[in-house]
Structure 1
Amino acid sequence: MAASHPLATSLSIFSMEDIQHSHVRVRGVKLHVAEIGNGPKVVVFLHGFPGIWYSWRHQMIAVAKAGYRAIAIDFRGYGLSDHSPEPEKTTFNDLADDVVALLDSLSISKTVLVGKNFGVVPAHMLGAACPEKVAGIITMGIPFLLPGPSVLQIIKDLPKGFYGVRWKEPGRAEADFGRFDVKTVMRKIFILFSGSEMPVADDDQEIMDLVDPSTPLPPWFSEEDLCVYADLFENSGFRTALQVPYRAFGIDCGIIDPKITSPVLLILGEKDYVLKFPGIEDFIRSDQLKDFIPNVEMKFMAEGNHFVQEQLPEQVNQLIINFLHKISI
């Protein structure tokens, strides 16, 4: 991966082929861990849905080139990681506890957490509950969210045909997805979630019906990328993925005072449909967010959508590296 020259770390040219894969047993399950770089400072990437470790391929390589050790996991029940013994009982606490156990297993005392979509949630949970382990947090797609009653209030205000409301209902998404092969499901989800409008179905539609089969993939997402996602979800299925996040959001995580004192960088695409959620944009652009994250820096990307780190990797990578260079790990 690196030559023996004393400047090897800074001069290394990392690529996808340099990402190493392993399984680490934590809390009774084996987590799939992807890793690249050998710097003393560690950055841990946490995916959302429809994410997996591969969601962070561009960021992992860039961070490694900048001298950091990059680790991306498949959460339990996703990709190449084990499911919980009872997947339908998996909660966000399981995901957060898995990250802590993984850090301990790898002898990592402190890290920067990078979360996307629901991966933001365990990052925020650890920032609030384990500040000694978190040097900083970078989030994309969701500004601040902890599982519990506040999420149920947001869901209550969403249209009944909204995908998150539909998929919260046991069996609804399973029947919807089951009409297609996994690759087609992933294709439809990436197309749907790339839009700037909230995905909402009519009463006589299912969510998968919202995407016309002739719609092309987004230009930043190749058929090869789709195949990687499809293969990994073919392996894991959607059993855990529908439980966490969609059916576990209302389960209280038990954090009483959710204040995060570490530095936080929030990256949001201006065309991310999440900004259309009731009250979300006002929450972000007002001072309310700073009640929970006083040391937050916000970056808005004019053309960014829900998959901003895959859509605009060079810009996002630069924001991440600038942030990493400013904080001490």
Structure 2
Amino acid sequence: MACITSCGSCNVMVIFIIAKDFGVRPAFLIAVQYPMRVSGVISLGVPHRPFKPRTYHVELPEGFYINRWREPGRAEADFSRFDTKTILRNIYILFSRSEIPIANENQEIMDIVSPFTPLPSWFTDNDLSAYGALYEKSGFLEPLKVPYRSSEEEYGIEDPVIKNPMLVILGEKDYFLKFPGVENFITTGTVKQFALDLEIEYVAEGSHFVQEQFPDKLNQLILAFLHKHSS
């Protein structure tokens, strides 16, 4: 992988990987395929599970946001009605709630959010402007492709177990915990079958964007893990 190649060219032989949300898939793949090059893995919001297609889109209603965003052209048409800042504003409001974003039959995902709903208290107008400027340049195609439109990919990995030290940080109010089977996968300990040296930390009141909501707490947890597993 390019990450490992780049590290080798800089004489960095062992790395820690920190990933969030749709960034966890490449992070987990690196840990599984190059375990000797990884000192530890930190995942924000997502535990490691076998690399196989998910079935959330089957188990949840048609209006489930991932169902809608998996469909080519659906999100593009929805987003085209708004400017970039409004799209991001709506996403931050939706994803900061504890309920899974699900639209009604005759409603698009962007329509779930009222234009009068305020931003989360920890996300400022300056934050929105800064993010908006970035997405004005990049657009939303890549975030739609990964993970929503590439979730069916399989990698032919025979042993999907991460044997490196791993920390998963979860917001207690992250709607992801309400995805079918997720909370049970964690609380029953099944998650530890696929991450053998696993620590899990919950952040009270934490949402899907827990790293932006409680940056000091996240930094504390991350630094403690890095110090613990640094040789």
> How many Å apart are 1:219 and its aligned residue?
1.0
Per the alignment, in what secondary structure is the counterpart of residue 39 of structure 2?
strand
Q: Does 1:247 align with 2:152?
A: no
Tell me if 1:222 matches 2:124: yes
Q: Is residue 108 of structure 1 aligned with residue 43 of structure 2?
A: no
CA deviation string 1:179-210 (max 9, x = no partner): 10111101110111000000000110000001
Q: Match of 2:225, as an amino acid?
A: F
One-letter code of the match for 1:241? P
1:286 to 179, 184, 188: 188
Query: What secondary structure, in the 3-state scheme, does the structure 2 residue paired with 1:217 have?
Result: coil
- Contact kept in structure 1, 2:49 and 2:191, CA below 8 Å: no
Q: Distance in 1 between matches of 2:31 and 2:207?
A: 25
Asked if the contact 2:69–2:144 (Cα under 8 Å) also holds between the matched residues in 1, the reply is yes
Contact 1:135–1:262 (8 Å) recurs in 2: yes
Work out whether 1:302 is the aligned partner of 2:204: yes
Letter in 1 for 2:110: M
The answer to whether the 8 Å contact 1:290/1:296 transfers is yes
Q: What is the one-letter code of the residue matched to 1:291?
A: Q
Query: Cα–Cα, structure 1 residues 163 and 102, in superposed 2: closer, same or farther, change >3 Å?
Result: farther
Between the aligned residues of both structures, percent identity stands at 50
AA of the residue aligned to 1:297: E
Match of 1:144 in 2: 48
Shift of 1:145: 4.0
1:314 alignment counterpart:
216
Deviation at 1:254, TM superposition (A): 2.5
| Residue 105 of structure 1: how far off its partner (Å) | 4.0
SS at match of 1:324: helix
Q: CA RMSD in A?
A: 1.3
User: Residues of 1 paired with 2:106 and 2:88: CA distance?
Assistant: 22
Q: Tell me how far 1:298 sits from its aligned partner.
A: 0.7
Distance 2:29 2:84 in 1: 31
Out of 13, 19, 22, which is 1:118 matched to?
22
Question: Is 1:200 aligned to 2:89, yes or no?
Answer: no
- 1:139-173 CA distance string (max 9 Å, x none): 11111245533x2x233212211111110000000
TM-score normalized with structure 2 length = 0.96
State the structure with bigger RCO (CA 8 A, min sep 6), 1 or 2.
Answer: 2
Do structure 1's residue 174 and structure 2's residue 76 form an aligned pair? yes
Is 1:271 equivalent to 2:173 in the alignment?
Answer: yes
Aligned residue in 2 for 1:236:
138
CA distance in 2, matches of 1:241, 1:145: 21
Number of equivalenced pairs: 231
Measured in 1, the distance between the counterparts of 2:125 and 2:152 equals 35
5+ long unaligned stretches in structure 1: 1-96
2:39 equivalent to 1:135: yes
CA distance in 2, matches of 1:188, 1:145: 29
User: Which residue in 2 is equivalent to 1:99?
Assistant: 3
Alignment partner of 1:295: what SS? strand
2:60 to 144, 153, 158: 158
| Separation of aligned partners in 1, 2:151 and 2:133 | 27
